[in-house]
């Protein structure tokens, strides 16, 4: 019987997001493919330093040891490396004792076509084109900023923070705000307060995390191993629709911050997430020096999710 990934939280992460490959990226861009190939082969046994997504991946994989003989998370390395140049990546995975056994090595081809083949719930990369293609295909995805100085600090819980509109929820209300202004946005939210917001690209991920929260306890048997936060620019009266939507989804967010236009960075620094997801460059740029941040691109107009076909 084939192994099924259907009931797992599957994280696809590029090798450059898991490990620090910025020097190698510079060689590829400045000197070309053959110089990159030669460098990787010559340095095959040199262990790579930790990248922007490493702390989150290491923390998520720890969920698999909380319940005997049950896995909750699968991580798939998704790289444009060729098979020939990939050994350094696998050697580094083994060195850091990461429970990662699956990989996509596309030899320079786009990665997005393989996301659904591995049932990927979240895709993390430093390549903008791959992240945009993932979002356009209906997969939660973010382009990671370079890690802040404290990104690799050990935390007792997995902590993940989300923006609301265009991340957890669709960008329907955000578009009204951007095109018609705050008054039209607030009127729209009042009129639709009892109508759940449509799902955004990260709704499926949030629901998967909520399921794990409800079914797994930490080693001390008391606290949940995952803590989530919603950090949204919304404020009253636009709060009601958010609360009612989460109720309709049967999802409990541990901490919620209705910022009302106040900068999010100080709240995020206090919450200390492994990662924060937002669609607005301004919010991301202010947060990135303080917490690991991933920017979520908007889906391009006219793109159809594979689930919608």
pLDDT in tens, 26-73: 999 999 989 999 999 999 999 999 999 999 999 999 999 888 788 999
Distance between CA 18 and CA 223 in Å, rounded? 28
**Predicted pLDDT of residue 222:** 57
CB 144 within 8 A of CB 35: no
Say whether pLDDT at 309 is over 50.
no
DSSP secondary structure of 55-74: HHHHHHHGGGGSSTT---EE
**Predicted pLDDT of residue 251:** 94
pLDDT band at 289 (very low <50, low <70, confident <90, very high): very high
User: Which residues have a catalytic role annotated?
Assistant: 163
As a whole number, mean pLDDT of residues 207-220 equals 80
pLDDT band at 217 (very low <50, low <70, confident <90, very high): low
As a whole number, mean pLDDT of residues 157-173 equals 93
Residue 229 phi, psi (nearest 5): -140, 140
Which H or E run includes 122?
strand 122-125
**Predicted pLDDT of residue 164:** 94
Enumerate residues 6+ apart whose C-beta is below 8 A from 266. none
Distance between CA 53 and CA 61 in Å, rounded? 12
pTM of the model: 0.90
**β-pair type (122-125, 9-13):** parallel
Rounded to 5 degrees, what angle do the CA atoms 188, 192, 196 make? 125
Say whether pLDDT at 192 is over 60.
yes
As a whole number, mean pLDDT of residues 88-106 equals 95
CB 21 within 8 A of CB 131: no
**Predicted pLDDT of residue 223:** 66
User: Pick the residue with more confidence: 236 or 137?
Assistant: 137
Say whether pLDDT at 130 is over 80.
yes
206: which 2 tokens? Answer: 């949030």
**Predicted pLDDT of residue 70:** 85
């Amino acid at each position: 019987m084939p192994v099924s990934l259907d009931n797992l939280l599957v994280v696809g992460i590029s090798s450059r997001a898991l490990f620090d490959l910025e020097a190698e990226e510079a060689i590829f861009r400045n000197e070309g493919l053959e110089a990159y190939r030669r460098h990787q082969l010559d340095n095959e046994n040199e262990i790579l330093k930790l990248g922007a997504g490493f702390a989150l991946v290491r923390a998520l994989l720890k969920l698999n040891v909380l319940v005997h003989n049950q896995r909750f998370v699968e991580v798939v390395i998704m790289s444009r490396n060729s098979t020939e140049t990939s050994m350094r990546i696998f050697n580094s995975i083994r060195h850091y004792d990461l429970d990662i056994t699956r990989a996509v090595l596309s030899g320079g081809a786009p990665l997005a076509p393989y996301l659904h083949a591995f049932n990927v719930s979240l895709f993390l990369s430093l390549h903008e084109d791959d992240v945009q293609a993932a979002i356009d295909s209906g997969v939660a995805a973010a382009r990671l900023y370079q890690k802040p100085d404290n990104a690799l600090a050990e935390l007792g819980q997995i902590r993940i923070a989300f923006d609301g509109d265009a991340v957890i929820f669709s960008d329907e209300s955000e578009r009204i705000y951007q095109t018609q202004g705050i008054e039209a946005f607030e009127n729209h939210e009042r009129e639709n307060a009892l109508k759940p917001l449509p799902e955004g690209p990260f709704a499926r991920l949030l629901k998967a995390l909520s399921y794990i929260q409800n079914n797994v306890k930490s080693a001390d048997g008391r606290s949940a191993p995952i803590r989530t936060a919603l950090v949204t620019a919304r404020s009253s009266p636009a709060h009601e629709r958010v609360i009612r939507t989460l109720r309709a989804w049967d999802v409990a967010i541990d901490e919620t911050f209705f910022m009302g236009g106040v900068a999010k960075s100080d709240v995020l620094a206090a919450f200390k997430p492994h990662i924060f997801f937002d669609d607005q460059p301004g919010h991301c740029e202010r947060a990135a020096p303080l917490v690991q941040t991933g920017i979520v691109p908007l889906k391009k107009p006219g793109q159809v999710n594979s689930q919608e076909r």
